[in-house]
């Protein structure tokens, strides 16, 4: 039996997806500010302090919850969408950039998922959105994107968003996978996660992929994205700040290489 609100949903689209959530009377979904796309008449919007998972926790409890979210770079506030009308109503939330929306049934995932701090999109009311500190020395010193992660706890549905193509992989007990820290979207609580240094002078000077990567050891599930938003943004910035000669021409790439723009 779920303690969180039980919601039905469907995901629409290919590259620029949105999730449509169907709410029964008095059911509520919560979402990040800016995720809302459209809703039926009869749904009431309300700005809430924190994630709304502990309605009777008092001001101090809500302040702690909101403060944890602030540490991940998210807003202190979220928006709750409640069906106050008769019959079923629908509310939709859109992905912020090209990629995929991942539905996560926390009841089927041992009640907890750890994800990148900007991955959360929306969830059923009752799902707690907090922070997950990585306590290992390597993670804390060198993790970069992976030091402070976000955790989703509860027994309801939650939805996270990732860039490019997203795929799920199940690791067996003791099985290890090395992943670029930006490409890791989420993993179950049974996964052992750390940051590993890429040793060797060649890797350090010429590797091009950075000095550190995430190591994940099973058992558990992980979700990986092919296009982290940080990687996409850095490419766009590099193109916007560099003079590109003969961009569409046959010799454009060679010209850029010879004048230094190709490095």
Q: How far apart are CA 84 and CA 26, in angstroms?
A: 6
Its pTM stands at 0.78
| Secondary structure (3-state) at 139 | helix
Q: Give the CB-side neighbour count of residue 183, counting CA atoms within 13 A.
A: 19
Predicted pLDDT at 24: 96
CA dist 8 → 13, 65, 105, 228 (Å): 17, 26, 11, 28
Q: What is the pLDDT along the chain (263 residues), one digit of tens a residue?
A: 778 898 999 999 988 899 999 999 999 999 988 899 999 999 999 988 766 665 554 445 545 554 455 554 555 678 999 999 999 999 999 988 889 999 999 999 999 999 988 899 999 999 998 888 665 545 444 444 446 788 999 999 999 999 999 999 999 999 999 998 889 999 999 999 988 776 655 555 555 545 678 899 999 999 999 988 777 777 778 777 655 554 544 444 444 444 444 44
CATH of 8-243, one of 3.40.47.10, 3.60.160.10, 3.90.550.10, 3.40.1280.10: 3.60.160.10
Q: Where are the domains of the chain?
A: 8-243
Give residue 54's pLDDT.
58
Paired strand residues for 153: 112, 128
Q: Are 117 and 74 in contact (CB under 8 A)?
A: yes
């Amino acid at each position: 039996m779920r303690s969180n609100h039980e919601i039905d949903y469907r995901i629409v689209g290919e590259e620029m997806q949105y999730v449509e959530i169907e709410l029964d009377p008095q059911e509520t979904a919560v979402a990040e500010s800016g995720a809302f796309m459209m809703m039926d008449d009869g749904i009431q919007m309300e700005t809430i302090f924190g994630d709304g998972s502990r309605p009777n926790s008092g001001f101090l409890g809500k302040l702690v919850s909101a403060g944890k979210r602030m540490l991940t770079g998210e807003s202190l506030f979220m928006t709750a969408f409640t069906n106050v009308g008769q019959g079923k109503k629908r509310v939709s939330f859109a992905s912020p950039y090209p990629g995929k929306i991942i539905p996560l049934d926390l009841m089927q995932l041992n009640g907890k998922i750890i994800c990148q701090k900007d991955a959360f999109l929306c969830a059923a009311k009752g799902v707690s959105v907090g922070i997950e500190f990585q306590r290992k020395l390597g993670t804390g010193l060198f993790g970069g994107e992976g030091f402070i992660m976000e955790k989703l706890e509860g027994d309801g549905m939650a939805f996270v968003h990732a860039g490019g193509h997203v795929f799920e992989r199940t690791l067996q007990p003791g099985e290890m996978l090395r992943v670029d820290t930006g490409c890791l979207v989420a993993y179950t609580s049974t996964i052992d996660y750390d940051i590993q240094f890429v040793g060797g002078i060649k890797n350090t000077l010429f590797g091009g992929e950075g000095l550190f990567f995430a190591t994940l050891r099973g058992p558990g599930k992980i979700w990986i994205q092919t296009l982290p938003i940080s990687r996409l943004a850095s490419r766009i910035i590099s193109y916007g700040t560099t003079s590109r000669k003969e961009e569409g021409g046959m010799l454009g790439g060679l010209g850029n290489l010879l004048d230094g723009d190709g490095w």
